[in-house]
Amino acid sequence: MNIPKTSYPRIVIIGGGFAGVALAKKLSKQEVQVVLLDKHNYHTFQPLLYQVSTGGLEPDSIAYPIRKILKDFPNFFFRLANVQEIDTKKNKVKTNIGNLKFDYLVIASGSTTNYFGNAEIEKHSMAMKTIPQSLNLRSLILENFEDALLTSDLHERNALMNFVIVGGGPTGVELAGALAEIKKGILPKDYPDLDTRSAQIHVVQSGDCILKGMSSMASQKAEDFLEKLGVNIWKNVRVTNYDGKTVTTNTDLIFETPTLIWAAGVKGATIKGLDGEDFVTKGNRILVNEFSQVRGLKNIFAVGDIACMETKDFPQGFPMMAQPAIQQGQQLGDNLLNVIEKRPMKPFTYKDKGSMATIGRNKAVVDLEKWKFQGIFAWYVWMFVHLFFLIGYRNRMVVFVNWVYNYVRFDREARLIIRPFKKRNTL
């Protein structure tokens, strides 16, 4: 990998997501060598992926080069590498570009879509966890309307304009709201010769409410917002299978659609060597102690979505969200320096900064510790927070300008089929 030898301890970080980048920044000016490995050369701002899928933002504006984030830091090395295995005995990671020894290893590999073992659904549905997947979804949505325009078969046309989203968490809710706004504001202009009123957006949720992790007030308001936008919400319904054409559920409800979007859950993105039952717990996450240390391993740590740190308040581990990942990354930076300088480590404490979701124009829900609010003010807060956490001035400017433009013009100009998505099934 051409990483120079040094007298400094070498800390290898797997993953340049929220946790990995927060950690690397903390270690940037210290007497350590930091090697960050990621299979992408960019950091992805996942909370805005749904805007890429629905043509509201260009993909580049929610991605940022990892090398640039850490460009001014001495002793920092980035390698574009897919880590395939961790050898905990030899303190070595194996990657597609070679092997690398470490003194300390931090796994910050995040999470991956959880299909709960259903291979058919995995094969035929659309996920939205990465930028390429979001671009696939964008293409498929637009291709469906192009195909709907061509077919004279009414059943096929309706199916092509049917969108089924599985999962009523923030991702499912935000995507449904954006699709509903496209249906209302953009499709009639783009496809005047197609009866786009038949387009249907369905959210299927196995539980009895949407936005389960938020307050009941936020959940109810989000449901009202979505219903006003014409989204069909199916609660207490579980999708059981999908063959690329028909979605079956545990009830009589079935949907005909070439587009099933799976937003029903994620699981830890484990790596061979640390994926056995000695290390992995609920949600396929790596069990760590209050110092983010992997069970039984003194020099190997895990932070962010991949890590399950069970506490009294969070017996299932911290929510798989950006804030716990950032805070764990930062805290581990301090703790690694404590270890190297032979000081005691400090246990992780989580500061819950609240949660929020946007449903559409002037419609968002925000839960803070002491204040819960919904509607237009919540929507401004949502936008401000997302702009604040985006990495890079250019990205912030581009996103801001796009949002103002979209707001004023009722538009989403990135509705482009740049890289056609090959459907595996035709109806």
Ligand X SMILES: Cc1cc2nc3c(=O)[nH]c(=O)nc-3n(C[C@H](O)[C@H](O)[C@H](O)COP(=O)(O)OP(=O)(O)OC[C@H]3O[C@@H](n4cnc5c(N)ncnc54)[C@H](O)[C@@H]3O)c2cc1C
Catalytic residue numbers read 174
CB of residue 322 vs ligand X: minimum separation in angstroms? 4
Q: Could you give the C-alpha distances from 333 to 238, 291, 341, in angstroms and in order?
A: 41, 11, 13
Pairing of strands 92-95, 83-87: antiparallel
* 47 lies in the binding site for ligand X (CB under 6 A): yes
Question: Hey, is 79 helix, strand or coil?
Answer: strand
Q: Which of residues 189-218 bind ligand X (CB under 6 A)?
A: none
Residues numbered 240-269 forming contacts with ligand X, rule: CB under 6 A: 269
User: Among residue numbers 399 through 418, which ones bind ligand X (CB under 6 A)?
Assistant: none
Give the range of 106-114, 331-339, 343-351, 395-403 binding ligand X by CB under 6 A.
106-114
The radius of gyration computed from the CA coordinates of the chain, to the nearest angstrom, equals: 22
Nearest to 46 by CA among 59, 30, 31, 29: 59
Q: How many residues make contact with ligand X (CB under 6 A)?
A: 34
- Minimum separation from the CB atom of position 351 to ligand X (A): 13
Within 10 A of 253 (CB to CB), how many other CB atoms are there? 13
Of the candidates 40, 67, 235, 423, which one interacts with ligand X according to CB under 6 A? 40
Q: Quick one: which segment of 8-16, 117-125, 152-160, 191-199 binds ligand X (CB under 6 A)?
A: 8-16
Q: Which is nearer to ligand X, 256 or 310 (CB)?
A: 310
Task: Give 38 or 143: the residue with its C-beta nearer to ligand X.
Answer: 38
Residue in the shown chain whose Cβ atom is closest to ligand X = 17
Q: Calculate the CA 377 to chain-centre distance.
A: 25
Q: Which residue has the tokens 């069909």?
A: 232
- Which of 19/194 has CB closer to ligand X? 19
Q: In this structure, what token pair is assigned to residue 280?
A: 């992995």
Question: How many beta carbons lie within 10 A of that of residue 90, not counting itself?
Answer: 11
CA distance 134 to 246: 22
What sections of 341-392 are H helices per DSSP?
A: 376-389
Q: In whole angstroms, how close is the CB of 32 to ligand X at the nearest point? A: 20
Task: Give the chain's end-to-end CA distance (angstroms, integer).
Answer: 48
Q: Which is nearer to ligand X, 83 or 288 (CB)?
A: 83
Stretch that binds ligand X, among 107-115, 214-222, 273-281, 366-374 (CB under 6 A): 107-115
The amino acid at 45:
F
List the structure tokens of 247.
């979605």
Site for ligand X in 268-307 (CB under 6 A): 269, 271, 304-306
- Cα gap 18→329, rounded to integer Å: 8
104 in Cβ contact with 301 (< 8 Å)? yes
Q: If binding is defined by CB under 6 A, does position 170 make contact with ligand X?
A: yes
Q: Closest separation between CB of residue 166 and ligand X, Å? A: 13
- Confirm or reject binding of residue 128 to ligand X (CB under 6 A): yes
In angstroms, what CA-CA distances link 12 with 35, 92, 290? 5, 10, 20
61, 75, 91, 109: residue in contact with ligand X (rule CB under 6 A):
109
CB distance 224 to 367 below 8 Å? no
For position 77 contacting ligand X by CB under 6 A, the verdict is no
Q: In angstroms, give the least distance from the CB of 332 to ligand X.
A: 12
Nearer to ligand X, 160 or 308 (CB): 308
321 closest CA partner among 12, 13, 17: 17
Q: Applying CB under 6 A, which part among 2-10, 14-22, 54-62, 332-340 lies near ligand X?
A: 14-22
- What DSSP string runs through 86-121? EETTTTEEEETTEEEE-SEEEE---EEE--TT-HHH
Residue 110 binding ligand X, by CB under 6 A: yes
What is the closest distance, in whole angstroms, from the C-beta atom of residue 155 to ligand X in the complex? Answer: 31
Q: Indicate the residue among 178 and 186 with the shorter CB distance to ligand X.
A: 178
- Given 10, 13, 15, 291, the residue binding ligand X (CB under 6 A): 15
In angstroms, the CA 293 to CA 300 distance is 6
**Cβ distance to ligand X smaller for residue 47 or 59:** 47
Residue 82 is a binding residue for ligand X (CB under 6 A): yes
The span from the CA of 49 to the CA of 2, in Å, is 34
322 near ligand X (CB under 6 A): yes
What is the closest distance, in whole angstroms, from the C-beta atom of residue 209 to ligand X in the complex?
18
Using the rule CB under 6 A, which residue among 11, 14, 63, 218 binds ligand X? 14
Residues that bind ligand X (CB under 6 A): 14-20, 37-40, 46-47, 49-50, 82-83, 108-110, 128-129, 170-171, 269, 271, 304-306, 320-323, 325
